[in-house]
Copies of this chain bind each other. A is one copy, B any other.
Amino acid sequence: MPSSSLILSRRDLDFLLNEWLDVESLTKRARFTEHSQETFDAVLDLAEQIATEHFAPHNRKADENEPRFVDGKVELIPEVAEALRVFADAGLMAGEFDEEFGGMQLPHVVGQAVFAWFKAANVGTSAYPFLTMGNARLLLAHGSREQIDTYVAPEVEGRWFGTMALSEPQAGSSLADITTKAVPQDDGTYRLSGNKMWISGGDHELTENIVHLVLAKIPGGPPGVKGISLFIVPKFLVNADGSLGERNDVVLAGLNHKMGYRGTTNTLLNFGEGVHTPGGQPGAVGYLVGEQHKGLTYMFHMMNEARIGVGMGATVLGYTGYLHALEYARTRTQGRPAGARTTASTDVASPMVPIVQHPDVRRMLLAAKSYAEGGLALGLYCARLVDEEQTAETQEERDRAHLLLDMLTPIAKAWPSQWGLAANDLAIQVHGGYGYTRDYPVEQFYRDNRLNPIHEGTQGIQSLDLLGRKVVMQGGAGLALLGETISATTARAAGTQWAGFAADLDAAVARMGSVTATLWGTGDPDLTLANSHVYLEAAGHVVVAWLWLEQALAAEAGSTDFHEGKRAAARYFWRWELPRTRAWFDLLESLDRTVLDARDAWL
C-alpha cells in the first residue's frame, strides 16, 4: 500500500486551511456551527485513511484493466465498487450536503481538501463521486422539490451515481450545435433522442441507477445555445415510492479508449434509439429541470464547479507526482555533487549521493513543488470563495466573492491543467529511465493528467472565457476586484523580506491592466481574441504568484523546515516564474498578427 505521505501532504493542507485560510472562522457561521477545528481534522483524517487504504492500491490495476464493454454492459475491476462503497458508507459523498440529506454540512473548502485525497490517490475511481456530487448540487440548485427528493437523496447516499451529458460527436466544445431532441409529452415529461459523446460514468454496474443530466433542444425553440434545455434522464425510471421501474432508453453505444484516466468509464450513449420503449412509447423519458431553454445556464452552475474541481484534480495529480519524485530523489544515489565536476574528473572514491543533492534535481523538485502547492492554494482559495459566496454575512461580501470567483474560474481550471502536468513531467525526469517505465507510478500520473487541459472546456475555451468575457464583464469590475485583492496582499508585504516580490507583482498587475486595455482598444475582436491563450498564461502566472506571496506571508512567522520550504518555493516562483509574464505581456502589447494572418494553405 502506498504511504499516505506520497499521496498528499497533510502538513501542507493544514497550513493552507488553518495558517492561511483560517477555516476555523467559518464555524461562526450559522451553516457550520456544528463544526469545529476538531471535526474538520477528523474528516481529513478519515479521507486520508480511506484514500490510502481503498483508493490508492488499485490505481495502477485500474489503469492496466480499463473498463470493458461485455454483453452491452461495462465491466470494471471489483476494487472500484468496493472503494466507492467504503467512501459512501463513511458519509463522504454527503460531506458538503445538508443535514436533511444525511450530510455533514462541511464548508466547501474543507470538502475540497477532503476530496483532494481521493483524486490524488486515484483520479479514475474518484470521477464517479465527483460527477455525482456535482450532479446532485445542480439538482439542489435548480430542480423541483420532487426531483430533489427523487434523485438527490439516493445520490448523496451513494446508491445512484450521476453524469453530465453535454457533448455530441459532431459538436465537442460547440454546444450551440447539439442536435439531441426533447419532444414534450402530454403528461409533462419529454422524450429524448440523440447521441452523446465523452460521457464519463455514462454506464456501469456500480450502482443500481444512473442519473443523467442531459442537454437537449425542444423543437421550435430558439436556435443555438438559447434553445438548450436541461433534462433528467435516469437509466431506470423511478416509481412514486422511489423503487426502480422500467428501463429507460439510454443505451451504451461504445467506450472510449484513452491514453490515461482509464479507470473512469468514458462512453458514447444513445438516447431514444428504440432499444427500450418505456411505457410502450419511443424515446428516452426525460424530466425538464427548471424552465425551458435555460439549460445551459443551469449546466454552467455545474460546469463552473466542475472546472474548479478539474483544476484541483490536475493540481493533486501534479502534487502526488512531486511527492513521489521527492521520495525517489532522497533515496536514489547516483553521482556526486556537481561543483567543478566534469565526467572526467569525478572522484569515484567518494560515495555516491542521493540525487536530491544535485542542483538540477533540486531545480526540478522546487519547480514541481511551486506548481503543485501553488495550484493547491489556488483551488482551496476558490473553494473558500464558494463558502464566502454562500455564507458571508453581507450581500456585498457575497457578491464580491461571486465576482472574484467568476473571474478566477478559467484560471483555476486552466493553470493547474498546464502546470500540474508540468509537475508530472518533471517527476518523470527526476526518476530518469525508471520514470519512463510502468514499474513506477509517475508515468501514469502524467498520462492521467493530460486529460485535464481538454475536458470541461479546453485551454482555448478557458482563454476565450477569460479575455472575451470575464475581464470585460460589468465594465471590468472583475479585473478591478482582482487587482484590489492582490494590492491588499502586496501592501501587507511592505517592510518584510517580500517587499521586492510585492513590487514585482504590483508591476505585473499594472501591466495586466494596461495590456487588457490595449487588447480591447484595437476595435478588432478577432485580433484581440487571437491572443487569448497567451493572456490566459500570463494572467495565471500573475494569480499564482500572488498566492505564493500570500503563502510566504502566512509562513513568515514559522521557522520549521516546512516553513523554510514555503519560503524557498515562494522565492522560486518570484524569481524564476513571475518573470515569464514580461515576455507574454510584451507579446500581447505588440498586437502581433502572425497567428491571425496565417492562412491554412501556408501550414
Residue of B nearest to A227 (CB): B348
* In contact, A525 and B447 (Cβ under 8 angstroms): no
Q: How far is the CA of A293 from the CA of B455 in the complex (A)?
A: 55
Q: How far is the CA of A601 from the CA of B563 in the complex (A)?
A: 11
* In contact, A359 and B326 (Cβ under 8 angstroms): no
Q: How far is the CA of A437 from the CA of B261 in the complex (A)?
A: 11
Q: A340-B525, A458-B432 given as contacts; is B568 within 8 A of A594 (CB)?
A: yes
In this complex, the member of A175, A342, A343, A347 whose beta carbon has the largest number of chain B beta carbons within 10 angstroms is A343
Residue of B nearest to A458 (CB): B432
CB-defined contacts of A582 to chain B, threshold 8 Å: 582-583
A300 to chain B, nearest CB (A): 9
**A492 on the B face (CB < 8 A):** no
* In contact, B176 and A459 (Cβ under 8 angstroms): no
Q: A583-B582, A586-B579, A598-B366 given as contacts; is B176 within 8 A of A460 (CB)?
A: no
**A126 on the B face (CB < 8 A):** no
A536-564 vs B, CB cutoff 8 Å, 1 = contact: the mask equals 00000000000000000000000001101
CB-defined contacts of A419 to chain B, threshold 8 Å: none
A566 to chain B, nearest CB (A): 8
* In contact, B530 and A460 (Cβ under 8 angstroms): no
**A28 on the B face (CB < 8 A):** no
* In contact, A174 and B575 (Cβ under 8 angstroms): no
CB-defined contacts of A366 to chain B, threshold 8 Å: 594-595, 598, 603
Q: Which residue in B260, B359, B576 is a CB contact (below 8 Å) of A526?
A: B359
Which residues A60-119 have CB closer than 8 A to chain B? none
CB-defined contacts of A432 to chain B, threshold 8 Å: 172-173, 454, 458
Q: How far is the CA of A446 from the CA of B258 in the complex (A)?
A: 13
**A294 on the B face (CB < 8 A):** no
* In contact, B599 and A564 (Cβ under 8 angstroms): yes
Identical subunits present: 2
Stretch touching chain B among A130-138, A180-188, A349-357, A393-401: A349-357
Q: A454-B432, A582-B583 given as contacts; is B601 within 8 A of A359 (CB)?
A: no
Which residues A429-456 have CB closer than 8 A to chain B? 429, 432-433, 435-439, 443, 446-447, 450-451, 453-455
**A469 on the B face (CB < 8 A):** yes
Which residues A325-369 have CB closer than 8 A to chain B? 326, 330, 334-335, 337-340, 342-344, 346-349, 352, 354, 356-363, 365-366, 369
Q: Which residue in B525, B562, B583 is a CB contact (below 8 Å) of A338?
A: B525
* In contact, A346 and B603 (Cβ under 8 angstroms): no
Q: How far is the CA of A436 from the CA of B262 in the complex (A)?
A: 11
CB-defined contacts of A429 to chain B, threshold 8 Å: 453-454, 458-460
A325 to chain B, nearest CB (A): 10
* In contact, B356 and A603 (Cβ under 8 angstroms): yes
* In contact, A177 and B259 (Cβ under 8 angstroms): no
CB-defined contacts of A572 to chain B, threshold 8 Å: 594-595, 598
CB-defined contacts of A433 to chain B, threshold 8 Å: 167, 172, 197-198, 256, 454-455
Number of interface residues of A (CB under 8 A): 107
**A596 on the B face (CB < 8 A):** yes
CB-defined contacts of A428 to chain B, threshold 8 Å: 450, 454
**A10 on the B face (CB < 8 A):** no
Q: How far is the CA of A198 from the CA of B177 in the complex (A)?
A: 50
Stretch touching chain B among A218-226, A279-287, A511-519: A218-226
Q: Which residue in B258, B530, B562 is a CB contact (below 8 Å) of A363?
A: B530
* In contact, B259 and A443 (Cβ under 8 angstroms): yes
* In contact, B454 and A330 (Cβ under 8 angstroms): no
**A23 on the B face (CB < 8 A):** no
* In contact, B346 and A600 (Cβ under 8 angstroms): no
Which residues A310-324 have CB closer than 8 A to chain B? none
**A171 on the B face (CB < 8 A):** yes
* In contact, B526 and A339 (Cβ under 8 angstroms): yes
**A529 on the B face (CB < 8 A):** yes
CB-defined contacts of A170 to chain B, threshold 8 Å: 334
A574 to chain B, nearest CB (A): 9
CB-defined contacts of A175 to chain B, threshold 8 Å: 343
**A532 on the B face (CB < 8 A):** yes
Which residues A566-595 have CB closer than 8 A to chain B? 568, 571-572, 575-576, 579-580, 582-583, 586-587, 590, 592, 594-595
Counting from the closest, the 3 A-B pairs by CB-CB distance are A565-B602, A359-B530, A224-B348
Give 28 CB contacts A-B under 8 Å: A172-B432, A173-B335, A173-B432, A174-B352, A176-B335, A176-B346, A224-B347, A225-B343, A258-B437, A326-B603, A330-B600, A342-B464, A357-B600, A358-B460, A359-B530, A360-B463, A362-B598, A363-B530, A363-B595, A429-B453, A429-B454, A433-B455, A443-B450, A561-B599, A568-B597, A568-B602, A575-B587, A582-B583
